[in-house]
Structure 1
């Protein structure tokens, strides 16, 4: 059991790393004895789950992890249901469309249709962001009672940009506004220069929505008329997906 737990912890650790990690990093960050960490890394390297760098001293996720991740997305029912509509609205408006799922206190991106413009910011499938700092996350948090949201959030709301809401009272007010207008806005809270509009996807069945859909658009391509039309298209796309 301990070996299985360590394997999962190591794979999750490498998946969250922004650069390859050394054996010393693994032992210090995960608290695994050096000999055990080395044996585990070698097992994962030999099986294709982990890859060493050219020097053989730092490690990152391998091609097998990519295949498993891609398989998860390909077989996900929500992705299958949403993909055609996402493709169509992205093609029509020329902007990036994201589908994401709430997992713990993070948003996990499931599918992306990339903008045809050269100026675009894209979150690839598998990327995770704090739920409170994204339009996708706020669209989903607004569906929950505040007590549930408050318990879900980390103790400290870390800022990604100067616009990120890091005060709980301010976030509560923002979620109330999301409910009132029917969609969420990320006003440069996760990426400077980017405005995102997002809606939750309620598939019924009595469960609280876990997935959300968004348009992510550089502010330089937005004016009042285009923003209104984008939101209208997003709401219509939501209705087409969940009907």
Structure 2
């Protein structure tokens, strides 16, 4: 007889609520009233207040001088930084990201798939005055970014359908909002080896992305973002070639990860 699977552990309510609260703050910068937080999360106000005060005392949540508005605390930054500092892929990618930045002179991102979003793990700022604002930890929709499309293209169409709803959020007027249209585009991404964001996440900005093949399906991707005003055919060709070379170098250094 086979060994029976152990029963799944029941979630600890206080732990679940703590995570929900911190993720709520992470998605909404700034300070928020108890009433607004309670309305968004639907938690009992008395329990939520006690949880907030506990997290304030521990440094995970901060409050204003009146003690009535709350936001993410410095402890969250320390934990987030430790994730980046300890990640093997981020460490291995640094020389390649530096080289890619020098070769393209544009903004470079390394990002990881997280559900229906991509999260920036590392960035290299453009050498030009006209450049996009970027930061590590930024979360963007997977369907509106070159990074996300490059990663989605390593999944089957059936997997993409399970991951994404039929109607997708329009980040700009150029965003692909129909899942089936996006799936058709992913076939082209697989064929050409890179994904393209045509001002679908930020107006005036075009991005090129490639997935890193050290896992299947891929979980990490690299992109190059360039203002449309600066994107000549020659510059676009150089960016694509530099991305392909970066992908191949990273495929070698991450092959055992």
Deviating beyond 3 angstroms after TM superposition, the runs of 4 or more aligned structure 1 residues are none
Mapped partners of 1:154, 1:54: distance in 2: 42
- What's 1:3 paired with? 14
Q: How do 1:1-243 and structure 2 match up within 5 A?
A: 1-204=12-215, 207-243=216-252
**1:101-132 superposed Cα distances (whole Å, 9 cap, x missing partner):** 11111111111111122211133121111101
Is contact 2:164–2:179 with CA below 8 Å preserved after alignment?
no
Mapped partners of 1:163, 1:49: distance in 2: 38
Mapped partners of 1:34, 1:4: distance in 2: 17
SS at match of 2:67: coil
Mapped partners of 1:107, 1:224: distance in 2: 28
Mapped partners of 2:58, 2:113: distance in 1: 30
Mapped partners of 1:54, 1:194: distance in 2: 40
SS at match of 2:52: helix
Mapped partners of 1:191, 1:17: distance in 2: 19
Q: After TM superposition, give the deviation of residue 236 of structure 1 in Å.
A: 0.2
Q: CA RMSD in A?
A: 1.2
- What's 2:8 paired with? none
Mapped partners of 1:156, 1:28: distance in 2: 26
Of the two, which has the highest radius of gyration?
A: 2
Q: After TM superposition, give the deviation of residue 155 of structure 1 in Å.
A: 4.5
Structure 1: gaps spanning 5 or more residues: none
What is the TM-score normalised by the length of structure 2?
Answer: 0.90
Number of residue pairs aligned between Structure 1 and Structure 2 = 241
Is contact 1:105–1:154 with CA below 8 Å preserved after alignment?
no
Mapped partners of 2:166, 2:192: distance in 1: 28
Mapped partners of 1:88, 1:57: distance in 2: 48
Mapped partners of 1:133, 1:21: distance in 2: 28
